[in-house]
Amino acid sequence: MSELKKIREQKNLTQEELAEQSGISVRTIQRIEAGTDPKGYTLKTLASTLEISEKDLLIQEIPKEIIVENSLPPTKKEEVFNSTLIKMINLSSVPFAWFPIANFLPPLLIMLLTKEKSQIVKQIVSLQIFLAIISPVIFMIVAILKLGSLSVMMTMILLTLANIYIILRNAYEIDKKQILRYKLNFNII
């Protein structure tokens, strides 16, 4: 709202009444109230008619500090959930589930190539990296304990089946609830 309009309304004057008292046209008063600064004769006449100083009629600039304080923070761009791509990234580990050292490579490569770096994809890759680290450790512990070749073979099969189960269960949850059933409390990548 312009200063002129505020002052005019405080004095209970219509635009027509102010125009009549000041000798300034209604159109000029409308332009000033719309944002044009009054100058020269018009400024002096309106200030005199309204019994105020000339500077009170000029549009007051808003200090920059107020603008900064009242401006809204930039909104964070919402992540678009592409469930098909995320499921593909998750399921890409299945062919290498039997070879834990390489099971994180397909989802990592797809993530980098598609530039899909959402939290859920980072969790999928982090989980596969974690399994790539922990599975050989478990396998080596069983081998070092010399529990027999059958136990070593069973450990290898169980680790592979556990990884496949985790991948498939997460794919199901991504499809139904757009979340992961099995995830870490931290990201490796």
Condensed to tens digits (0 to 9), the pLDDT of residues 169-181 reads 998 998 888 888 8
Q: Residue 183 gets which letter from DSSP?
A: -
Q: Which residue segment(s) compose the domain that 66 sits in?
A: 3-70
Looking at the fold, whether 89 and 66 belong to one and the same domain comes out as no
- Whether 182 is in a domain gets the answer no
pLDDT at 29 over 90: no
Q: What does the pLDDT read at residue 52? A: 86
Alpha-carbon distances of 151 from 132, 136, 139, 154, rounded to whole Å: 20, 14, 10, 5
Looking at the fold, whether 151 and 87 belong to one and the same domain comes out as yes
Residue pair 116/86 in contact by the 8 Å Cβ criterion: yes
pLDDT at 130 over 80: yes
Number of neighbours of residue 4 by Cβ within 10 angstroms: 28
Top-confidence residue, 54 or 168: 168
pLDDT at 66 over 70: no
Model confidence at 60, in pLDDT bands (50, 70, 90)? Answer: low
pTM: 0.55
Looking at the fold, whether 165 and 88 belong to one and the same domain comes out as yes
pLDDT in tens, 140-166: 898 899 888 898 889 889 989 999 999
Looking at the fold, whether 35 and 120 belong to one and the same domain comes out as no
Decide: residue 39, CB within 10 A, 0-12 exposed, 13-18 middle, 19+ buried: exposed
Domain boundary among 25, 47, 70: 70
Looking at the fold, whether 49 and 105 belong to one and the same domain comes out as no
Q: What is the mean pLDDT of the chain?
A: 83
Q: What does the pLDDT read at residue 149? A: 85
Task: Give the pLDDT mean for 37-59.
Answer: 83
- Whether 76 is in a domain gets the answer no
| Number of domains, the chain | 2
